[in-house]
Structures are given as structure tokens and as C-alpha cells.
Amino acid sequence: MFKYCAHIQIKCLTALFAGLLLQFSLPVQAFPQGDAAKGKKLYEQGVGHNGEPVYAVGQNGLTFQGEDATCLRCHRRSGFGGSEGGYYVPPIAAGFVYRPSRRDRNDRFRAAFLEAQNIQHWVRVRMPRARPAYTTATLAEALREGRNPSGTEFDQLMPRYRLDDRDVANLAAYLATLSKAASPGVDDHFLHIATVVSHGVEPGARDSMLASMQAYVKWYNERLYSDIAHESSARAYGMDVRSSTRLWKLHVWELDGRQEKWRDQLALYQRQQPVFAVVNGMVNGSWAPVADFCDEMELPCLFPLTELPQRERESGGYNFYYTRGLELEADILGVYLKNMRNRPERVIQLHDTSRYGVEPASRLAGQLAARLPEIRIRTIAFDTPQELEMLLRGLGERNEPDVGIVIWGEPDSDSILKALLHSGVKDSPVFVPAHVIRKRMTRNNGDLLSPLLGNLHITWPFSLPQAYQADAFRVRGWMRSRGLPINHEQVQLLSHYGMNVLRDSTRHLFEHYYRDYLVERIEHEVESSQHPGIYPSFSLGPEQRVMSKGGYVLTPDATGENAFNVAADWIVP
């Protein structure tokens, strides 16, 4: 009835007025008192107040039930909705449903310009859908009948729910809380972010990471001032840049002592100055204590430089990673061994007693037992580099071509490579993770590695060493012009990338600084982000948390111009 309200203003006012009168004159339908916790359960899990799965009818009689009928599926955890498949899903967080729809200019600007979208989406975003604020009664109508308070019928994508009054009241109560309280770590002036470092990481790498991040923050803040001074394109849209931008403040959270103590240290930092997100970071050993903290605090933790993410969960949560780390390398090796032409009959795994040794060794043993039961595998732990040398010498003396040797251990020490070079192992195929050789990847290593040519295999979860990367070139220039020496290139490029993603995704937030929304923006945007090519490509999706999913297997080559041959093309285990 009031479909064209926004176009014909006078008529619209009369109609609204009539609507108001109507509302007062009808007996008010009494909804029970809503329970927000139960509403959340319905929203996120599709379970009604009686413990039964909720039921909805979608396009052309398709029915959805329980976990297929959650609101979260489309409107997302934050309630900000978004766009997918060219369909625009409107925000239904507290700040939207309980306010008259004003087609907020900032939101319109975002939806229209910051995303590559098809025409349909664009038309939908520009189509004014003015409506009064929802009440529990009009929400009931929206959910059951698919109509908004001014009578506009919804698109078929929004299902029609069979909900009783109590479920509607619970949902109404939950929506009233959804993304209502601003997330910690943002005040009127600053967006606080942190990075995490622990004792025992390589000091040079740590300092390079911190310096890159600090330079980024300085650059970002300076640019912000000049953007505010020249807000031309945004001003054309009446967008208030000032209300939605914040200066960044970087905090360095240093951890020391045993990993068991880290949680308390992190909690203390977070109490002293809450942050909105943690970006980058490096710790000695497993990242798990930090990850657990981030999940506990619902604090987005983006892209730590770690080989031991040790993810508990398959999906979801607040931690984003470049890769699955050494677990991925163990899996790549499992697939490679399975497909290898001259596959060894036996595998001997040597690992040190750090997490970098123990975790991938047990992962590979598990993989081989499940997929290649015909291979016999023996796993031996070593405590010192001398022990490793002794073990390898023994294997070198026997030098059996049908025995594969796998070595796992702490990164950034040359001891594994040295022990291998002195071992006399010539015919047994040897398998090592990328970090054993990574620093020697760029130079021509024909001489150094010549004793191992032909039998050394490296799992390589990165782009090929020789791949040219335009964006890396650009970022190196950026660093140089800020007087930052390029001495830990990978660390520096990735630190810069992490900050870039934070910038791009907070730009899409406008004034809506909610952590869940940030997480959803990152899921959405990583795939089209410019990245420095350390990894061939990134992709995420709803609830996905690992951006690069595969790797190569390389062998050294003394003669070729690339110093390495590709023994196995990109494997996604």
C-alpha cells in the first residue's frame, strides 16, 4: 500500500499518519516478554524456545529447517547482512531494525562504491525502502508474511518463518541487543590495535615486523588528516568522514615466560588498553595460547606469522591465518608420498622435541597410517643437533634408496641442513619443511646443496621462488622511501599486507566498529585484496579462516636457472 512512499512524500506522510492512527485504534496484540538468550539461539542455531528446530518456507515452497533456517546464514553474526550472490541482505542489528530506515548515506556509499557488484545489487541499494522502525508486531509480520512495516513485500530470498509469538518476542529481544554496545578498543579518536611478540623469536625478524607496522601506522594517520581535508568524493554523498574515521594506535604486547602464563599476560594488556583487533605477531612455539585468548575475548586476530597455528576448530572463531603451517606441510608430504613414482617402502621420521618437531611428525604418521598403510614408518626424536648428526650418519652409511628420511625441527637454525650435508646420505630421498631451506632460496645454491641434489625434497607452501610479484615491488618501494631496510623481506611484506587488510576492511565498516562485522568484512574481501605474492592466492568464505590452502614440493637444481625444480605442482591436501 505504501510502496512508493519515498517517491511521493506528501502522500507518504498521510499514509504513515493513517498507519499510526490504525495502530492506536487496533487492540494491541500482546506479545510475551522476550528472552534475548533464546532469541540468540534461534538466530544462530535455528532452535526455537521449545527446543525444536524452526521452520521456514522460501522461494517456491522450498522449506528450511533448523540449522538451514538460521538468520545468521544471511544476516550474519553481526546482524549487518551484506551481499552475496548479487543479493543484498539488509542489516538487522539493533541500530537498524528499531530505527526508521533512513537509507543512511554512509551505508549507501559503502554498498554502492566499495564493492564490485552487479547491476541488480546496485539498483537494490539505491532503491529507497523507507519504513518506520520495527515493533514486535511488525517484526512478526515481516518474519511470517514477508512484508515490511510500510507494506513492501520482501524478495523471495528472505524466507517466511513459522514462528509463534514467543519465538518472535525472543528474536525481537535479541535484535534489540545485536551489535548494540560498541566493541572495545575504539573511542572517539582512536582505533587501538595490538601485535603480539614473545621472547625467543628471532630479534631481527621481530624488529622488522614492528618497524614496518609502526611506519604503516604513521603513514596511515598522516594520510587520514589529508583525506579529511579533501573529502570531495565522499562529501558529494553527504558522508561524514570525520564520524567514521579514527587514528590508529599500535600497542605491542610482549609475552614472556612459559606459554601457560601467556593468557594472564594478554588479559592484563587487554584490561589496561582494550584493542579492537590484533594484527600480525610472532611467538616462539605454538600460537595456540594467543588464539585461545582471541576466541575467548571475541577479538579478531589477523594473520600471525606462525608455523604452529594449532587450530582447534575447523572453521569460525576469531583467528585468521595465512596457512595451516607445518600441519599443512605434513599433509602435502602425505599426498606427495602417496603419488610418488619411486615411493620409499619405509619412512624414518626424525624430529626434535620442540612443537615444531613433534606436531608435524605426529600429523604425518597419522596421515600415512590412514592413507598409505603399506608404508612402514618409524619416528625417532632427537634432543640435540649432535644427536641428529649421529642419526643421519648412520642412515648415510646404509644409504638405502627405499628408505625415506623426513626431518622436522625448530625453524631458523641451520643445524638440520648442516647435519644433512655432513651425513653422506646420497640415495635415500630426504624430505624437509620449507623453513630448513627458505633463507637459501634466492641465491644460487648449486654448490652448497650439491651433496643433496637429486634426493632432497622441500615442501613449499609459498609461491614459487622465481615468481615475479608486482605488488611486492611496490611495497618494497614504499618501505625504502620510509627508510626501512629490506632485511626480512617475507616478514616485512606480510606485516604490511596485514595492515592493508585491516585498513581496507575497517574502511568498509564506516562508523560501525563491531568486531563480528570486521570478521565478516575480512572473509568477504581477502580474495580481492592486493597481496605481495608470498602466497599464490588467497581466498576465504563465511567461517573460513585459512587463506592459502596448498603448496608445492621442490627439489634443488644446480644447473637450471631457477635453482629449484618443481617436483609436484600445487597440492591442496
Partner 1 sequence: MLRSSLISAGVALVLFVTISYVPAGAQAHNQPEYARSAHAYRTPAVSLIDAREHTVDFAAAVAQEEMVIISLAFTSCTGTCPVITANLVQALPELKRIGNRYRIFLVSLDPEHDTPARLREYQARFNTGEKITLLTGSRTAIHDLLRAYNAIYPGGNKMNHQPLTLIRAGKNAPWIRLEGLVSGSDLAREVRLAIEQAGAISTIY
541 contact choice in ligand HEC, partner 1, none (CB below 5 to 8 Å, kind-dependent): partner 1
- Contact partner at residue 483 from partner 1, ligand HEC, none, CB < 5 to 8 Å by partner kind: none
- Residue 148: which of partner 1, ligand HEC, none does it interact with, CB under 5 to 8 A by kind? ligand HEC
Composition of the chain by helix, strand, coil, percent to 5: 45, 15, 40
Minimum distance of partner 1 from residue 332's CB (angstroms):
13
Minimum CB–partner distance for residue 119 and ligand HEC (Å): 16
Size of the site for partner 1 (CB under 8 A): 40
In our burial notation (b when 16+ CB lie closer than 10 A, e otherwise), range 252-282 reads ebebeeebeebeebbeebbeeebbbbbbbbb
Using rule CB under 6 A, residue 98 touches ligand HEC: no
| C-alpha to C-alpha distance for 550 and 516, rounded to whole angstroms | 27
Which ranges constitute the DSSP H helices of 187-306? 203-229, 232-236, 241-244, 262-272, 288-297
Which of ligand HEC, partner 1, none does residue 205 bind (CB under 5 to 8 Å by kind)? none
86-105 residues in contact with partner 1 (CB under 8 A) are: 86-87, 89
| Contact positions with partner 1 (CB under 8 A) in 26-65 | 58-62, 64
User: How far is Cα 355 from Cα 180, in angstroms, rounded to an integer?
Assistant: 41
Using CB under 6 A as the binding rule, whether residue 553 contacts ligand HEC is answered as: no
Residues 240-299 touching partner 1, rule: CB under 8 A, are: none
214 contacts 241 by C-beta, under 8 angstroms: no
**Scanning the structure block, which residue is given the C-alpha cell 533464546?**
38
Please tell me the total number of residues recorded for the chain in this structure: 573
Q: Which does 527 bind (CB under 5 to 8 A by kind): ligand HEC, partner 1, none?
A: partner 1
β pairing state of 346-352 and 82-84: unpaired
Decide which of partner 1, ligand HEC, none touches 85; Cβ closer than 5 to 8 Å per partner kind: partner 1
User: Which residue in 4, 6, 19, 68 binds partner 1 (CB under 8 A)?
Assistant: 68
DSSP class per residue in 491-503: HHHHHHHHHHHHH
Check residue 87 for interaction with ligand HEC (CB under 6 A): yes
Residue 6 Cβ vs partner 1, minimum distance, rounded to whole Å: 15
Give the binding range for partner 1 (CB under 8 A) out of 18-26, 115-123, 198-206, 260-268.
115-123
Binding mask 116-155 for ligand HEC (x = CB under 6 A): ---------------x-------x--xx----x-----xx
- Say whether 84 sits in a helix, a strand or coil: strand
Residue 524's binding partner among ligand HEC, partner 1, none (Cβ under 5 to 8 angstroms by kind) is: partner 1
Rounded to whole angstroms, the Cα distance separating 66 from 44 reads 10
First to last CA, the chain: 56
Instruction: Output the CA–CA distances (angstroms, integers) from residue 289 to 40, 56, 362, in the order listed.
Output: 28, 41, 20
176 binds ligand HEC (CB under 6 A): no
In the list partner 1, ligand HEC, none, the entry touching 403 (Cβ below 5 to 8 angstroms by class) is none
In the shown chain, the binding pattern of residues 249 to 288 toward ligand HEC, with x for contact by CB under 6 A and - for none, equals ----------------------------------------
Residue with cell string 615486523: 209
User: Nearest-CB residue to ligand HEC?
Assistant: 71
In angstroms, how far apart are the furthest CA atoms of the chain? 97
d(CA 48, CA 42): 5
Locate the DSSP E strands across 296-375.
Answer: 301-302, 319-320, 346-352
At 377, list the grid cell. Answer: 614408518
Which value, in Å, is the radius of gyration of the alpha carbons in the chain? Answer: 28
Dihedral (CA of 232, 235, 237, 242) sign: positive
Chain residues binding partner 1 by CB under 8 A are 58-62, 64, 68, 72-74, 83-87, 89, 115-118, 120, 153, 156-157, 315, 523-525, 527-528, 537, 539, 541-544, 549-550, 570, 572
Chain residues binding ligand HEC by CB under 6 A are 71, 73-75, 87, 89-90, 92, 97, 101, 131, 139, 142-143, 148, 154-155, 157-159, 161, 171
